[in-house]
Chain A
Amino acid sequence: MNAPERLIADALREIAAEAPAARPMAAAAWQTGRRRRWRGVAAAVTAGAGAIAAVIALTLAVTDSPAGPASRPPIVAVVPVSLSAPIQFRQVASISTHACPAGSSGLPGPAAASAGNPNPPGVVCYKFTGKRMTVTALKSAAMVHQPGGGYSLDITFLPGDTARFAALTRELAGQPTPQCQLAVIVGGRVLSAPTVDVPVAQGQAQIVGFTSRAQVEQLLGRG
């Protein structure tokens, strides 16, 4: 190796040394990885016989349904849930007042209601900082019908994600608006961007902003 190559290697080593401390992630990674594998097996079995899949299918507990004409019971997933699409949590950098222009780095999402403007129209553009986390599985999830319309999801993170979520919310708490807002992103859209007032250390959160029951079911792999 000649001199420039050694310089590059040294600089890379220097960057590596600045990496943050690793948080425990073995348990969450294991559970998610294994479940993904079993889900693959289940699909194969269903295609063939269709009998054994029920054993590992998501367990649904039935509770009382609040309302709705074609009202089916709320979904309460009581075993660890593999999500059909990842949920991303990102710190908001800015929110513009109009839709994202083509080629923008932002993502579309609903405009937040404020005191002066209780029913803001249309779609606005969210931009984000680098602070974020992605979850692909949850310990549990319960769908709740909102009295004002729409659905929300009460979620509990897996242990590894709980630690990451606590660290992320600790960074956001107390920042000025909108950097204290944590956008919840599913399928390339911002569902909602709640304000983080205090760090969330217990690993429980509520995601609001689902417009239909089918949207929740699809996310939970039940669509």
Chain B
Amino acid sequence: MDERVRQDFTEFVTARSAELLRLAYVLTADQYAAEDLLQNSLIKAAAHWGRIHSSPEAYVRRIMYREQVSQWRWHARRPETAMAQVPEPPEPDQAGTVEARLTLKDALLALPPRKRAVLVLRYLEDLPEAQVASILGCSVGTVRSQTYKAIAQLKATLPTLGLSSTEVRP
């Protein structure tokens, strides 16, 4: 019995881990954090694998979103920034040139985890607000305000893109 469940789990992970890692990467924007997020989520899923009857993929994805949000809470309590490179002293502001190089992708990667998670669920997975709220374990109002703030932040960094925050209000 356990052996059959194990085989099922192994097959699922082998078949889906590439796709799941892509989600982890969009959520964390960091290769190592993405691998950690996926592995921790798979560990949690493995503990209950025999009892998942509907869609295992949806189950794992939900764990990943929740983990990411709880990590966000953890970081809020004890702030620590993971940096890809050794931190450099801040350079004098070269507003014009920096702004010109910024792309929407960079702006998205600079968003805090929770805001990005909301945008991923709303626009990449194209889910209705109620379902986003249920996945993240928060209220619909929080989903709305996070979406609004995230887009306002994108708009602030990218005035040229014409991202109007009123336009995307539901």
Contact = CB atoms under 8 A, between A and B. Distances in A.
Contact of A14 (B2, B17, B105, B120): B105
A133 B30 CA distance: 12
A152 B160 CA distance: 57
Interface in A163-191: 164, 168, 179, 188
B interface majority secondary structure? helix
A29 B122 CA distance: 29
Interface residues of A, number: 51
Contacts, number: 159
Contact of B39 (A2, A4, A29): A29
B124 to A, nearest CB: 4
A129 B10 CA distance: 32
Interface residues of B, number: 64
Nearest to B30: A130
A4 B43 contact: no
A5 B150 CA distance: 12
B38 A25 contact: yes
B46 A29 contact: yes
B105 A20 contact: no
Nearest to A16: B22
Interface stretch (B79-87, B92-100, B128-136): B79-87
B86 A32 contact: no
Interface of B: 2, 6, 9-10, 12-14, 17-18, 20-26, 29-36, 38-40, 42-49, 78-87, 103-105, 108-109, 119-120, 122-124, 126, 151, 154, 161-164, 167-168
17 contacts: A1-B123, A4-B162, A8-B151, A15-B25, A16-B25, A17-B22, A21-B18, A21-B21, A28-B39, A33-B42, A34-B47, A93-B86, A127-B87, A129-B82, A130-B83, A132-B36, A134-B40
Report the 6 A-B pairs with minimum CB-CB distance, sorted nearest first. A33-B46, A19-B25, A26-B13, A29-B42, A130-B82, A22-B17
